[in-house]
């Protein structure tokens, strides 16, 4: 299957006066991908997304969306749904009027009931935006972004402020859109969501793209962990591990399955109780923490 580049970010720089918010950022997103642009607070994610959305001009470098400059809003708008970090709906409009307005402005066609149903807002169809809760406004934002099932959907922290049921419903909708062929780019501070759903992840820190790849590619360089504690009279465990506190152990391993088996076999033979036993694969959180402590590239 040949891939088609939907977003091409080439040596993008965004500056605010003397402040350099995005530094030589380059990445591509292929058709059908779900790409998560992650990073520390102030890393430059929203600034980069705003250029992709056509809402901000690059200070230097080039961004192409569907092969065209995204500031060419008329060409791109019908094909790209956008959920901004802060919603900008008029408080006097009702929920259904807000969706229809976006549909009209973007020239996309769909039914209001369908998108409100996706985010469980059907009962709020005639409610004014000013009367919605914060989480309901975020869900309305999402509903307007996916109105018309656009080819490209850009979501800036879509699940922030949502309860767990709403987050699950939103991810179900995102997965459905992906199955239908949409390309999705998003930011989130919920790393476990990116770990579960993203095809590829870019990690930004202080304006720079510091890592990029699939989750297995990014987590491969760091060890998984096994944790447990032992009774005071228990023998020492088989693999090299000193207790981290009292009789609690933390084993870091690149061979999680084999080391866990060895530990369980040992506990069986010795009739030892492995208290509070847990085994965890390497997570994006670990990659983040490692990135935060390493020196910045020259």
Ligand X SMILES: Nc1ncnc2c1ncn2[C@@H]1O[C@H](COP(=O)(O)OP(=O)(O)OP(=O)(O)O)[C@@H](O)[C@H]1O
To the nearest whole angstrom, how small is the minimum distance from the Cβ of residue 17 to ligand X? 7
Rule CB under 6 A: which of 25-44 touch ligand X?
39, 41-44
To the nearest whole angstrom, how small is the minimum distance from the Cβ of residue 44 to ligand X? 5
Tell me how many residues contact ligand X (CB under 6 A): 11
The first and second tokens of residue 50, run together, are 């705003």
Candidates 7, 12, 21, 184; binder of ligand X (CB under 6 A) is: 21
The answer to whether 86 contacts ligand X (rule: CB under 6 A) is no
Specify the residue, 25 or 132, whose C-beta has the smaller distance to ligand X: 25
The answer to whether 16 contacts ligand X (rule: CB under 6 A) is yes
DSSP state, residue 296:
P
Specify the residue, 47 or 106, whose C-beta has the smaller distance to ligand X: 47
Rounded Cα distance, 205 and 197, in Å: 21
Cβ contact 51:57 at 8 Å: yes
Rounded Cα distance, 200 and 185, in Å: 10
Phi then psi for 106, rounded to 5 degrees? -90, -10
To the nearest whole angstrom, how small is the minimum distance from the Cβ of residue 170 to ligand X? 18
Specify the residue, 136 or 156, whose C-beta has the smaller distance to ligand X: 156
Rule CB under 6 A: which of 102-161 touch ligand X?
none
Question: Cα 27–209–222 angle (5° rounding)?
Answer: 110
Cβ contact 27:202 at 8 Å: yes
Crossing angle of helices 134-145/164-179, nearest 10°? 0
Region of 291 on the Ramachandran plot (φ > 0 left; ψ -120 to 50 alpha; else beta): alpha
Specify the residue, 208 or 234, whose C-beta has the smaller distance to ligand X: 208
Specify the residue, 41 or 233, whose C-beta has the smaller distance to ligand X: 41
The first and second tokens of residue 53, run together, are 């959305």
Buried b (16+ CB within 10 A) or exposed e, 50-64: bbbbbebebeebebb
Specify the residue, 54 or 237, whose C-beta has the smaller distance to ligand X: 54
To the nearest whole angstrom, how small is the minimum distance from the Cβ of residue 111 to ligand X? 33
The answer to whether 67 contacts ligand X (rule: CB under 6 A) is no
- Interface region with ligand X, contact rule CB under 6 A, candidates 45-53, 86-94, 115-123, 194-202: 45-53
CB atoms closer than 10 angstroms to residue 72: 12
Distances in Å between the Cα of 94 and the Cα atoms of 91, 99, 169 are 8, 9, 22
Rounded Cα distance, 165 and 168, in Å: 5
- Interface region with ligand X, contact rule CB under 6 A, candidates 14-22, 93-101, 147-155, 256-264: 14-22
To the nearest whole angstrom, how small is the minimum distance from the Cβ of residue 45 to ligand X? 4
Specify the residue, 39 or 148, whose C-beta has the smaller distance to ligand X: 39
Candidates 9, 34, 47, 124; binder of ligand X (CB under 6 A) is: 47
SS3 content of the chain, % helix, strand, coil (to 5): 35, 30, 35
Helix (H) or strand (E) holding 65: strand 60-65
Candidates 9, 34, 45, 51; binder of ligand X (CB under 6 A) is: 45
Specify the residue, 41 or 293, whose C-beta has the smaller distance to ligand X: 41
Binding interface with ligand X (CB under 6 A):
16, 19, 21, 39, 41-47
């Amino acid at each position: 299957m040949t891939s088609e580049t939907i977003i091409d970010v080439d040596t993008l720089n965004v500056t605010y006066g003397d402040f350099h918010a995005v530094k030589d950022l380059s990445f591509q997103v292929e058709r059908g991908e779900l790409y998560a642009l992650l990073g520390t607070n102030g890393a430059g994610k929203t600034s980069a997304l705003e250029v992709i959305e056509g809402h901000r001009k690059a200070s230097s470098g080039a961004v192409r969306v569907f092969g065209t400059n995204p500031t060419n809003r008329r060409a791109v708008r019908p094909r790209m749904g956008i959920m901004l970090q802060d919603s900008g709906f008029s408080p006097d409009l009702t929920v259904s009027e807000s969706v229809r307005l976006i549909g009209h402005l973007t020239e996309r066609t769909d039914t209001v009931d369908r998108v409100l149903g996706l985010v469980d807002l059907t009962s709020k169809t005639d409610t004014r935006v000013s009367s919605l809760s914060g989480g309901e406004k975020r869900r309305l934002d999402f509903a307007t972004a996916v109105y018309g099932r656009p080819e490209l959907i850009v979501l800036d922290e879509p699940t922030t402020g949502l309860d767990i049921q709403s987050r699950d419903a939103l991810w179900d909708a995102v997965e459905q859109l992906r199955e239908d062929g949409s390309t999705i780019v998003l930011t989130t501070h919920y790393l476990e969501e990116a770990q579960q759903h993203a095809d590829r992840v870019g990690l930004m820190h202080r304006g720079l793209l510091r890592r990029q790849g699939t989750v297995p590619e990014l987590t491969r360089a760091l060890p998984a962990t096994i944790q447990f504690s032992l009774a005071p009279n228990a023998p020492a465990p088989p693999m090299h591990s000193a207790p981290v506190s009292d009789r609690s152990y933390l084993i870091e391993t690149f061979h999680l399955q084999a080391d866990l088996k060895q530990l369980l076999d040992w506990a069986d033979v010795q009739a030892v109780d492995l208290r509070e036993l847990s085994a965890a694969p390497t997570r994006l959180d670990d990659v983040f923490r490692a990135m935060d402590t390493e020196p910045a590239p020259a």
